[in-house]
Amino acid sequence: MMTRQNVRRFVSIPLFGALLLAVGCGGSSSPVATPAQSIANTSANVQPISVNLGPTGNYPDGVFTSVTVCAPGSTTNCQVIDNVLVDTGSFGLRVVGSALGSLALNQEIVNGNPLAECFSYVDGTYNWGPVQTADVQISGELASSVPIQVLDDAFSVIPSATCTGTPNDTAATLGANGILGVGPVQYDCGSSCTSNIPAVDQYYQCSTIAPSSSVVTSAALNLQVQNPVSLFATDNNGVIVELPAITAPQATLTGSLVFGIGTQSNNGLGSATVVPMDPNSLTFSTNFQNTNMTGSFVDSGSNALYFDSSSSSLPECSDVTFYCPTSTANLSAVNSGTGGTASVDFTVFNADQLFTTVDAALPGLAGPSDGSFTSFDWGLPFFFGRNVYTSIEGKPAPGGTTPYWAYPPN
């Protein structure tokens, strides 16, 4: 049975906002960012991305892009949505309802009732809202009639017994106008949600007859929220996230989201080392300071590196849940999957010092992994200076059996 590791960890938005207010204005004077391996940014399969503070102005280490959402079959009834978080740790497009403006989309129906979803994350938050159908265009790529989730707390009745945690369905709470999940699978639940008695309480049919209610339902694959990249005509087997290397905080960073692996002259695997994932858990193993963390993953939607503090000997900050070494820590680890091993060097900065700036891109931001001793979350700081490849399960790609992550050797 395919499981889904849905991950989004980020610093408390109110906390970072308070830090911004305390600092005032201005940014840091830091070295110019060094580009990673160059990828042409004018091709139809290349979408600009930016590390900035997001629509609320207080989101550190978040990488954003814009997405055009259209009514199926239309090229004019469309809405461009900016500040959408690029997330290799989840699957499918999720859009804050208010960001759609007046755009009306087709509602997915199960047993005559509207279909909704509660998509949960390991950080204790969830997205709630209806599943609707849209054409999704990013750069020159088009995914037609793809199910997306429209985030809306007011839709029907949230089933509090099974949809638990903290809702993040507005730009203010999410810190973004949506999430573009470009992770390593096509369907966000897969076979776990297709049986008559679903293995996962994720999809719901919602009665529109008073009193309205939402009950768990199965969802056929074609109704599930899907990674739009998997539905592109050609460049559909994965993505490459390209961001410059930085050694100090930067006000903003620009880079590229490249669609396809080995499908065009600008998206070859090159010298990248492949790290295969376990096809069930979508994770690999990270060996760090003699601790083997078998549930590790690469996630551009996490704003820091998250790993167990007991294996790192790094002191935690007294005021925020991050690491605060007295001097920059230069560390290394080894990532391995079946048939592939790649070392990685990384740094951990003092988070208190990083947060004294109002910059969006914070290198070396790291923190404890919520008491988990089995995972290393390679969040956005891992992406600085590397072209990071995420292949999609079941799609042929150079480098071996998918799904896998890949990145150039140190």
Q: Check residue 319 and give its pLDDT.
A: 83
pLDDT at 36 over 70: no
pLDDT at 12 over 50: no
Q: Give the model's confidence band at 164: pLDDT under 50 very low, under 70 low, under 90 confident, else very high.
A: very high
Counting the structural domains of the chain, the total is 2
332: helix, strand or coil: strand
User: Does 3 map to a domain?
Assistant: no
User: Does 37 map to a domain?
Assistant: yes
β-bridge partners, 80: 68
Shared-domain flag, residues 190 and 322: no
Shared-domain flag, residues 39 and 169: yes
6 vs 225, which has greater pLDDT? 225
Domain boundary among 182, 200, 231: 231
User: Does 177 map to a domain?
Assistant: yes
pLDDT at 107 over 50: yes
CA pair distance 90, 174, nearest whole angstrom: 15
Shared-domain flag, residues 211 and 275: no
E strands, 183-272, in order: 203-207, 213-216, 238-242, 253-259
β-bridge partners, 242: 256, 387
Radius of gyration of the chain (CA): 20
Please say whether the beta carbons of 335 and 305 come within 8 A: no
Shared-domain flag, residues 111 and 210: yes
20 vs 269, which has greater pLDDT? 269
Tokens of 77: 């009834």
User: Does 244 map to a domain?
Assistant: no
Q: Check residue 311 and give its pLDDT.
A: 59
Shared-domain flag, residues 208 and 284: no
Tokens of 65: 């892009």
pLDDT at 230 over 50: yes
Secondary structure letter of residue 380 according to DSSP: G
Shared-domain flag, residues 76 and 130: yes
- What amino acid occupies position 136? V
- What amino acid occupies position 205? Q
User: Does 264 map to a domain?
Assistant: no
pLDDT at 155 over 90: yes
Shared-domain flag, residues 225 and 279: no
Q: What angle do CA 167, 318, 89 make, to 5 degrees?
A: 40
Shared-domain flag, residues 310 and 185: no
Distances (CA, A) of 93 to 73, 121, 269, 283, 376: 18, 15, 26, 22, 25
User: Does 249 map to a domain?
Assistant: no
Shared-domain flag, residues 156 and 283: no
Lowest mean pLDDT among 236-240, 257-261, 301-305, 315-319: 315-319
CA pair distance 243, 135, nearest whole angstrom: 27
Among the listed residues 360, 384, 376, the one whose alpha carbon sits nearest the alpha carbon of residue 62 = 360
pLDDT at 277 over 80: yes
Residue 344: give its domain's CATH number: 2.40.70
Buried b (16+ CB within 10 A) or exposed e, 204-232: bbbbeeeeeebebbbbeeebbbbbbbbbb
Mean pLDDT of 36-48: 76
Shared-domain flag, residues 32 and 164: yes
Q: Please, what is the end-to-end C-alpha distance for the chain in angstroms?
A: 35
Domain boundary among 214, 231, 248: 231
The two beta strands, 273-276 and 404-407, are antiparallel
Q: Check residue 369 and give its pLDDT.
A: 83
Shared-domain flag, residues 181 and 325: no
197 vs 41, which has greater pLDDT? 197
The reply to whether the predicted model has a pTM over 0.95 is: no
Tokens of 193: 């949600």
Shared-domain flag, residues 223 and 281: no
User: Does 251 map to a domain?
Assistant: no
Q: Give the model's confidence band at 236: pLDDT under 50 very low, under 70 low, under 90 confident, else very high.
A: very high
User: Does 144 map to a domain?
Assistant: yes
Please say whether the beta carbons of 266 and 39 come within 8 A: yes
The residue range of the domain holding 55 is 13-231
